[in-house]
């Protein structure tokens, strides 16, 4: 298929009435990366794509509905990502399908199936876990400062709504380390152009000092951009990498769920600063504002 990302996006698609792995669509990462000078297997970052599916359900063999949240994690170093609507259709295909004579047996079978199906199309190790209780109190970002609170927004003219690295400015030659975030991230689906809302978290240590007002202007500039979530995260990362040559750089985008699923890409050059709870398949991290 010449354009796999548009197989379902922007089109009416029937939800499968029974388990159906054939609806899954892998998309080559390189198609989005090459236009920003990011190679197929980047050396400037590693990371993960973290998905939360909040409306997952299946039936036991006795017809008992099992309902909960699926957490799916796979590395950004693989060659493919899964197209979001195809994943929604795939997970919905479990809704009326029956697995196991008990909740325990059913979950064991279902998680094994999902893991195998995703690993086949993504060609990498995939972690899949199920939760039916509240999130933990672990907040990876509790020591991050909100950009729109620490800069004087009344002095900023927000007049650019197309992404441009020229918006990013250096404040001084005095390097520093910052942990900041903004809840003003908005981009649009690459195919349907429907709005995607989210928050972006940035940990940056550089030999120069970034102007925080310019950083906020840059993040706001995504408002009319049409990209996949993973692409937005990698674009922000690449622009900061090229502009400030950081010693430490971590970018995490936490997008609001759409169709019952949120996508949280994480990229960093230092594995130690990657959000621990978010990227741990055994934990549900503290739910953030945009989730």
Q: Which of 131, 154, 188 is the last residue of a domain?
A: 131
Can you give the residue range of the structural domain that contains 157? 145-273
CA distances for 11 relative to 86, 153, 175, angstroms: 11, 40, 49
One domain, residues 24 and 108: yes
pTM of the entire predicted model: 0.93
Q: Is residue 160 part of a domain?
A: yes
Q: What is the pLDDT along the chain (291 residues), one digit of tens a residue?
A: 456 655 544 456 678 889 999 999 999 999 889 888 898 889 999 999 999 999 999 999 999 999 999 999 999 999 999 999 999 999 999 999 999 999 999 999 999 999 999 999 999 999 999 999 876 778 999 999 999 999 999 999 999 999 999 999 999 888 899 999 999 999 998 888 899 999 999 999 999 999 999 999 999 999 999 999 999 999 999 999 999 999 999 999 999 998 899 999 999 999 999 999 999 999 998 888 888
Q: Of 117, 140, 189, 233, which is the active-site residue?
A: 189
Q: Of 196, 233, 253, 264, which is the active-site residue?
A: 196
One domain, residues 109 and 160: no
One domain, residues 117 and 224: no
Q: Is residue 31 part of a domain?
A: yes
One domain, residues 120 and 176: no
One domain, residues 91 and 201: no
One domain, residues 96 and 168: no
Q: Is residue 139 part of a domain?
A: no
One domain, residues 25 and 124: yes
Q: How many domains is the chain built from?
A: 2
Count the Cβ atoms, other than its own, within 10 Å of residue 175: 14
One domain, residues 168 and 201: yes
One domain, residues 173 and 232: yes
Active site residue 117: no
| CATH code of the domain containing 246 | 3.30.1130.10
One domain, residues 87 and 167: no
Active site residue 49: no
**Closest alpha carbon to 86 in 54, 55, 118, 112:** 118
């Amino acid at each position: 298929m010449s354009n796999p990302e548009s197989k379902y996006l922007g089109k009416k698609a029937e939800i499968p009435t029974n388990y159906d792995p054939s609806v899954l669509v892998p998309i080559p990462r390189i198609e989005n990366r090459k236009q920003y000078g990011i190679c197929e297997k980047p050396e400037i970052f590693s990371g993960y794509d973290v998905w939360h599916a909040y409306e997952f359900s299946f039936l036991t063999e006795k017809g008992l509905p099992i309902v909960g949240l699926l957490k799916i994690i796979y590395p950004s170093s693989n060659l493919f990502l899964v197209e979001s609507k195809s994943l929604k259709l795939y997970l919905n295909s479990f809704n009326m399908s029956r697995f196991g004579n008990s909740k325990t047996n059913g979950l064991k079978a279902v998680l094994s199936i999902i893991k195998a199906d995703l690993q086949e199309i993504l060609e990498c190790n995939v972690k899949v876990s199920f939760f039916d209780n509240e999130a933990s109190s672990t907040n990876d970002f509790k020591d991050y400062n909100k950009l729109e609170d620490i800069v004087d927004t009344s002095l900023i003219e927000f007049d650019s709504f197309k992404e441009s690295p020229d918006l990013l400015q250096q404040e001084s030659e005095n390097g520093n380390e910052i942990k900041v975030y903004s809840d003003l991230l908005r981009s649009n689906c690459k195919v349907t152009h429907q709005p995607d809302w989210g928050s972006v978290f940035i940990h940056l240590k550089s030999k120069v000092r970034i102007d925080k007002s310019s950083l906020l202007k840059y993040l706001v500039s995504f408002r009319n951009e049409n990209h996949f979530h993973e692409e937005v995260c990698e674009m922000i990362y690449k622009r900061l990498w090229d502009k400030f040559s950081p010693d430490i750089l971590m970018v995490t985008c936490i997008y609001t769920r759409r169709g019952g699923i949120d996508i949280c890409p994480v990229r960093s050059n230092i594995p130690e600063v990657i959000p621990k709870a978010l990227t741990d398949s055994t934990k549900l991290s503290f739910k953030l504002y945009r989730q």
